[in-house]
Structure 1
Amino acid sequence: MELSTLDYTFIIVFFSIVLGIGVYVSKKSGKNSSEFFLSGRNMPWWLLGVSMVATTFSTDTPNLVTDIVRTHGVSGNWVWWAFLLTGLLTVFIYAKLWRRSNVNTDLEFYEMRYGGKPASFLRKFRAIYLGALFNIITMASVTLAAIKIGGIMLGLEPWETVVGAGLITVTFSALGGFKGVVYTDFLLFFVAMSGAIGAAYYLVNIPEVGGIEALIAHENVQGKLDIIPDFSNQNALIMLFIIPLAVQWWSSWYPGAEPGGGGYIAQRMLASKNENHAIGATFFFNIMHYALRPWPWILVALASLIVFPDVASIHEAFPNIAENKLGQDLAYSAMLTKLPSGLLGVVLASLVAAYMSTISTQLNWGSSYIVFDFYKEQINPNATEKQMVAVGRISTVVLMVLSAVLALALENALQIFEILLTFGAGTGLIFILRWFWWRINSWSEITAMFASGILSIALKTTSLGPFLFDVETGVFPDWAEYPFVVLVTTAIWLAATYMTQPESPEVLRSFYKKIQPGGPGWAKVVNEAKADGEAIAKDEKWSVPQGITAMLLGCVLIYTIMFATGYWIYGRTTPALVLTGVAIVSAFLLIKAWNRMKEDIL
C-alpha cells in the first residue's frame, strides 16, 4: 500500500503528541514509586474508565473478533461477552474493597489476606508468573497483531514492525509511568474509536459489499448473523454459549477480566480518588467495552466474508505473508487495505493507538509487580524511591524486548486466547470467595494455580487430552475439556484448603478490620473476636446482596444495549424497539440501586 502525505501527517502528528505527553509528565512520574505506578492515587473515574477501555482496545482484539465471527459467527463472541458478569461483579462488589485495601498492587493483597511464608511465596511467585510470563504472552499476542497489520497494509517484515511499533511505546511508557499511560489513553481512545467506526462505515459500503442491506442478505453472511447460537447445533450451543455463561465467567482467570478484579483493572481502581470513583470507572469501562465497541469490528468481519471468503483468498491477495502467519484473523487487516487516502491514515493511527495503549498499560502494570512484589520483597527490601523507579523503567524495557521476541514465533490471536483461558480455569472462584470466606488460605491459591497450570499443559501437550476429549474416540465430548479442568482444579484446591491450617486469628482479624467485607462467611471470625473483647466489625449493612442486584440490572442494561444495537444495524425494528425499551427500564432501576449503594458507602 502507498500512504499519501495526508496519511503520513496524521501518523506523525499522533506520534509527536504521544511522545510529548510522556516527556511532559516524566519529571513528576519519576518522583517516587507511587507516582510512577499509581499517579498519587488521585485519578478521577472518567479518566480511569477511558483508560481501561483504551487498554482493552488492542490491535489483537479486532483480529480476535474477526477470527471468531468468520469461524463461529457473531454468536461466537459469547466466549468473551460472558465476562461482562465478571466485570459487573467487580463494579458493584469488589471495586470499593480494592480501593479500601490501599495496596500498591493487587499482589500485595496476599500478605494482607494471608500470613507467613506461603503468603510471601505466593506474592513473589505470582509477581514473576503474572508480571513477567503471562504479561509477556499477552503483549506478544498484541504485537503479533501489529506484525500482521504491518505485513498486509505496509508490506513490512515482522522485525520492522516490532522495532518501529515497540520503540515509541516503550519510550513513553518508561518516561511517563502510569500518569503518562492514562493521559495518552484518553487521546488513544478517541483516535481508536474514530478509526474503527470510520473503517466499518466505509468498508460496508464499498462496491464489493454493496451496503448494509446487501451485506445482511449475502449468502456468505446469513449463517453468521445470529447473536444467540443456533439451538439445533448442540456442540456450538454448549461451547459458545452455555459454558461461557454457566462456568467460564466465574471460574477462569483471564487478563482484564479477573473474577473479583485484578491486574491492570485493579491498578486503576487503586489509583482512583475514592471508592465511588473506583466504581464509576469500572462501570463506564464495562458499558463501553461490551455494549458499544464490538459492532464496528463485527461489521468489518462480516464484510470480509464477502471480499475474502476463506484463508486461501487472503493468501492469494497477499502472497508475501508467511505461511505461519496465515489465519482467519488476517481478514481484518486485509479489509483495511481498501480504505482511501486520509481515512487510511486515521485508521492506521487508530491501530497504532490501540497497540500503544495496551502495551503501555501491560508494561507499567507488569513492571509494578516486578518492583513492588519481587525486587523490593526479594532483592532489596531497603530500596529507595529512586531505585524503585529506575528498576521500573529497566523492567519496562526488558518486558518489551521479551514479548517482541515471542511475538515473532506466534501464529494467531484465537490460539493465544484459548491457551490463556484454559490455563487459568478453576482458579476464578477463589478470587471471588477469598474476600468473603475466612477459611480460604494461601495454600488454596497455590494449589489451584499449580493444578490448573499442570492439568492444562498435560491436556494440550500429551495424549491425555485426545484420550479424554477426542471428538470420535474420547471418553468425554470435546466441549467437556474446560469444565473438566474447572471441576478437577476446584476439587484439588478445596481439599487443600481443608487439609491445611487456616490463617491465624491475628491475620484474619486485621484483614477484616481494614476491609470490612461482612457477610456470613466471616461470622466465625467476628464472633470469636467479639468474645475476646475485640470489636473488628463496624455497624454497617452488608452490601453484597444489593451489589448482586445492581450487577444483574447492569447485565440486563448492557446486554440489551448491545443486542438492540445489533438489531438496529440488521434492520430488525421490532426486537430492536423491545430491547431498547428494556434497556431504558433497567437503566432507571439501576440508577436507583446505585444511589442506594453510594449512600451506604458514604
Structure 2
Amino acid sequence: MQLDRLDWTVVALYGVIALTVGLWFTRRAGSGVQEFFLSGRKLPWWLLGTSMVATTFSTDTPNLVTDLVRSGGVSQNWLWWAFLITGMLTVFVYAKLWRRSGVMTDIEFYELRYSGKPAAFLRGFRALYLGVFFNVMIMATVTLAAIKIGNVLLGADKITTVVLAGGVTVIYSATAGLWGVVVTDLLLFAIAMVGSIAAAYYALNLPEVGGLSGMVQHPALEGKLGLLPDFSDGTTVLAVLIVPIAVQWWSTWYPGAEPGGGGYVAQRMLAARNERDSLLGTLWFNIAHYALRPWPWVIVAL
C-alpha cells in the first residue's frame, strides 16, 4: 500500500498526540501510589467505562469479528456475545462491591477474601500466571496482528512496528500510570470508532452494495443476517449458541468479561470516584462493547 506525505503525517501525529496525552499526567501519577495505580480513585464513570471498552479490543479484534461474520453470518458473534451475561452480573452485583472493597488491585482482594499462607500463595500464583504467562500470550497475539497490519499498510518491518508501537505504549504507561492509560484510551477509542464508522459508510456507498437497503437485500447474504443461528442445524446451534450461553460464559476466563469482573475491568472499578460511578462506568462499558462498537465491523464484513 502506497502512502503519501499526508498519510505519514497523520500516522506520526497520532503517535505524538498519544504520547503527549499520556505524559501530561506524569507528575500527577508520580505523586503517590494511589495516583499511579488508581488515579487517586477519582475517575468518572464515562472515562473509566470508555477505558474498559478501549482495552477490550486491539488490532486483531476487528479481524476476528469480520471473519466470524463472513464465514458464518452475524449469529456467529454469539461465541462472544454470550459473555454479556457475566457483564450484566458485574454491573448490577459486583461493580459496587469492587469499589467498596477498597483494595488497590484485584489480586490484593484474595488476601482480603481469604487468609493465611494459602491466600498469599493464591495471590502470588495468580499474579505470576496472569502477569507472566497469560498476558505474554495475549501481547504476543496482538503484537503479531500489529506486525502484519503494519507491514501491509505501512510497509514497516516487524522490528520497527514493535519498537515504535510498543515503545510509545510503555513510555506513557510506565510514567503516567492509570491516568495516562485511561485518557489515552479515550483518545484511541474515539479514533477507532471514527475510522470504523467511516469504513462502514464507505463500504455501504459502493455501487456494488447500493446502501444499507441494497446490502440487506443482496442474495449473497441470504441466511447470514439473522441474529440467531439456523435452528434446523443442530450442530451450529450447539456450538454457537447453546454452549456459549450454558457453559462458556462462566467457565472461560475471557479478558474483560471475567465472572464478577477482574483484571483491567476491576482496576477501573476500583479507581472510580464512588460506587455509583463504578456501576455506571461498567454499564457504559457493556453497552459500548456489545451494542455500539462491533456493528461497523459487521457491516464491513457483510
CA distance in 2 between counterparts of 1:215 and 1:156 reads 35
**1:509 — aligned with what?**
none
Question: Alpha-carbon deviation of 1:158?
Answer: 2.8
User: 1:45, 1:277 within 8 Å by CA — same for their partners in 2?
Assistant: yes
| 1:125 partner SS | helix
CA offset digits 1:414-473 (Å, max 9, x no partner): xxxxxxxxxxxxxxxxxxxxxxxxxxxxxxxxxxxxxxxxxxxxxxxxxxxxxxxxxxxx
Question: What TM-score results when the alignment is normalised by the length of structure 1?
Answer: 0.49
Contact 1:53 / 1:288 at 8 angstroms: preserved in 2? yes
The Cα shift of 1:210 comes to 4.2
SS in 2 for 1:107: coil
Distance 2:163 2:221 in 1: 37
The match for 2:294 is 294
Give the aligned CA root-mean-square deviation in angstroms: 1.6
Quick one: which amino acid aligns to residue 230 of structure 2? D
The residue type equivalent to 1:248 in the other structure is Q
* 1:86 alignment partner AA: T
1:238 aligns with 2:211: no
Give the C-alpha shift of residue 243 in structure 1.
1.1
Q: Which has the higher contact order (CA 8 A, sep 6+)?
A: 2
> Match for residue 195 of structure 2?
195
Does 177-186 or 145-154 show the bigger shift?
Answer: 145-154
Q: Residue 141 and residue 208 in structure 1: after superposition, are their counterparts in 2 closer, same or farther (change >3 A)? A: farther
Task: State the shift of 1:205 in Å.
Answer: 2.3
Partner Cα separation in structure 1 for residue 35 and residue 178 of structure 2: 7
Query: 1:8 Cα deviation (Å)?
Result: 2.5
The CA deviation string for residues 66-88 of structure 1, in whole angstroms up to 9 with x for no partner, is 12112222101001111111011
Q: Please report the TM-score for the alignment, with normalisation by the length of structure 2.
A: 0.95
- 2:179 pairs with 1:176: no
- 1:273 aligns to 2:273 (yes or no): yes
Answer whether contact 2:56 2:255 (CA < 8 A) is retained: no
Kindly report which structure 2 residues correspond to 1:132-531, keeping only aligned pairs within 5 A, or say none: 132-302=132-302
CA contact (8 A) 1:57 1:192 kept: no
Structure 1 residue 12 displacement after superposition: 2.3
Look up the match of 2:13.
13
Residues in 2 aligned to 1:26 and 1:274: alpha-carbon distance in whole angstroms: 24
1:333-378, Cα deviation, whole Å (9 max, x unpaired): xxxxxxxxxxxxxxxxxxxxxxxxxxxxxxxxxxxxxxxxxxxxxx
Distance 2:20 2:229 in 1: 47
Distance 2:198 2:57 in 1: 15
Q: Distance in 2 between matches of 1:158 and 1:224?
A: 36
Looking at structure 1, the residues matched to 136 and 255 of structure 2 have their Cα atoms a distance apart, in angstroms, of 12
In terms of mean alpha carbon deviation, does 115-124 or 153-162 score higher? 153-162
Q: In 1, Cα distance between the equivalents of 2:154 and 2:218?
A: 30
Contiguous gaps of at least 5 residues in structure 1: 303-602
Which amino acid counterpart does residue 280 of structure 1 have in structure 2? L
Offset, 1:219: 4.1
Provide the C-alpha distance between the structure 2 equivalents of 1:58 and 1:235, rounded to a whole number of angstroms: 30
Identity of aligned residues (%): 62
In the TM superposition, residue 242 of structure 1 has moved relative to its aligned partner by: 0.9
Partner of 1:260, secondary structure, is coil
**Which whole-Å CA distance do the structure 1 matches of 2:204 and 2:147 have between them?**
25
Provide the rounded CA distance (Å) in 1 between the counterparts of 2:55 and 2:93.
22
TM-superposed CA distance for 1:233, in Å, is 0.8
Q: Does 1:93 align with 2:93?
A: yes
Counterpart of 1:23?
23
* Letter matched to residue 221 of structure 2: V
CA distance in 2, matches of 1:251, 1:10: 43
Residues 63 and 145 in structure 1, CA contact (< 8 A), matched pair in contact too = no
Structure 1 CA distance for aligned equivalents of residues 207 and 157 of structure 2: 31
1:265 Cα deviation from its structure 2 partner: 0.4
For the residue of structure 2 that corresponds to 1:231, the secondary structure is coil
Q: Which residue of 2 aligns with 1:69?
A: 69
**3-state DSSP class of the match of 2:25?**
helix
Report the Cα distance in structure 1 between the residues aligned to 2:170 and 2:82, rounded to whole angstroms.
32
> For 2:176 and 2:208, how far apart are their aligned partners in 1?
45
In terms of Rg, which structure is larger?
1
Consecutive unaligned residues in structure 2, runs of 5 or more: none
Find the counterpart in structure 2 of residue 423 from structure 1.
Answer: none
Structure 1 segments, 4+ long, off by >6 Å, are none
| 1:3 aligns to 2:7 (yes or no) | no
User: Alpha-carbon deviations, 1:571-596, whole Å to 9, x = none?
Assistant: xxxxxxxxxxxxxxxxxxxxxxxxxx
Q: Which amino acid aligns with 2:123?
A: R
